[in-house]
């Protein structure tokens, strides 16, 4: 992904270790498991327990946590509340993150209503849509605003993160406008490759790609491969 170059030679933050990308991707999973444990009233847990409830290897879990610091106690395990706070702080979900969502189709609706956002510090400050007919609606308690208001909304609320839930053809234009408005992190649900300047992070979630990966493995399981006959190309794929 578009990693902001850490200025060759000098570390990004003096005391902060560099956390590997693979570890960063797992921290939210640990956070969720710790929250569940805390809600269940559990005060302490071992790396083995936490690992099995998150579906990872316990050695990997311990190595992941070691990048954050030494927050466990040998012979005992981890304090659930303490570890949870430390992970939340590292990820950044102890802060408030104002977010805008662009594109109010089915997916935009689903995202606006998704409770998992609010509970982790993400606050949807506006839903934007280019269609003027939609701008009287209120979805999930948030006003639908015209897309042209993007700049003002970003400025007023200090929005750093934008979500694109538009059709593919509109995605690049939306991304450009977001970047211009000052957004530096984009979560893209549109099936399109976005070009953005350095310093802007883009993560992509593609629903059909995940299904296709499953189909690949499923095909291998059942051994049902299509005829590799090159002549079949004439017909093409539907």
Partner DNA sequence: AAGAGTTTGTGAACGCAAGCACAAACTCGA
Partner DNA sequence: TCGAGTTTGTGCTTGCGTTCACAAACTCTT
Write out the binding residues for DNA, residues 52-71 only, by CB under 7 A: 56-60, 62-63, 65-66, 70-71
CB of 132 to a second copy, least distance (A): 22
Closest distance to DNA from the beta carbon of 207 (Å): 21
Please say which residue, 53 or 135, places its beta carbon nearer to a second copy. 53
- In the chain the first and final C-alpha atoms are separated, in Å, by 32
CA nearest to 29, candidates 49, 55, 63 = 55
Considering only 53, 149, 170, 181, the residue that binds a second copy (CB under 8 A) is: 53
Q: Give CA–CA dist 173/194, Å, rounded.
A: 9
| Residue 130 contacts residue 170 (beta carbons within 8 Å) | yes
In the set 8, 41, 55, 197, which binds a second copy (CB under 8 A)? 55
Stretch that binds a second copy, among 40-48, 90-98, 149-157, 172-180 (CB under 8 A): 90-98
Taking the C-alpha atoms of residue 168 and residue 208, their distance in angstroms, rounded to an integer, is: 13
- Supply angle C-alpha 7, 11, 17, rounded to 5: 135
Site residues for a second copy, 92-131, by CB under 8 A, read 92-95, 97, 99, 105-107, 109-111, 113-114, 116-117, 119-122
Binders of DNA in range 27-46 (CB under 7 A): 45-46
Select from 114, 96, 92, 91 the least CA-distant residue to 24: 91
The reply to whether 212 sits near a second copy by the rule CB under 8 A is yes
The secondary element (H helix, E strand) that includes residue 203 is: strand 201-204
- Angle, in degrees to the nearest 10, between helices 80-91 and 21-39: 140
Quick one: what does residue 73 bind among DNA, a second copy, none, with the CB cut-off 5 to 8 Å set by partner type?
DNA
- Contacts to DNA by CB under 7 A: 20-23, 45-48, 56-60, 62-63, 65-66, 70-78
């Amino acid at each position: 992904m578009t990693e902001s170059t850490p200025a060759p030679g000098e570390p990004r933050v003096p005391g902060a270790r560099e956390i590997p990308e693979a570890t960063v991707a797992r921290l939210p999973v640990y956070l969720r498991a710790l929250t569940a444990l805390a809600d269940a009233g559990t005060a302490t847990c071992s790396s083995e327990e936490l690992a099995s409830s998150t579906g990872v290897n316990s050695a990997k879990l311990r190595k992941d946590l070691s990048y954050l610091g030494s927050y466990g106690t040998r012979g005992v395990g981890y304090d659930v509340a303490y570890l949870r706070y430390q992970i939340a702080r590292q990820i950044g979900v102890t802060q408030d993150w104002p977010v805008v969502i662009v594109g109010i189709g089915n997916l935009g609706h689903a995202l606006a209503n998704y409770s998992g956002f609010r509970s982790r510090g993400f606050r949807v400050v506006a839903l934007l849509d280019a269609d003027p007919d939609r701008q009287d609606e209120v979805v999930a308690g948030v006003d639908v605003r015209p897309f042209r208001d993007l700049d003002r909304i970003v400025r007023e609320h200090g929005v750093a993160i934008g979500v694109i839930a538009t059709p593919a053809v509109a995605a690049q234009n939306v991304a450009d406008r977001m970047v211009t408005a000052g957004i530096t992190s984009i979560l893209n649900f549109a099936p399109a490759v976005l070009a953005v300047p350095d310093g802007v992070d883009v993560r992509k979630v593609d629903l059909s790609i995940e299904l296709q990966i499953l189909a690949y493995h499923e095909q291998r399981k059942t051994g049902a491969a299509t005829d590799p006959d090159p002549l079949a190309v004439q017909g093409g794929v539907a």
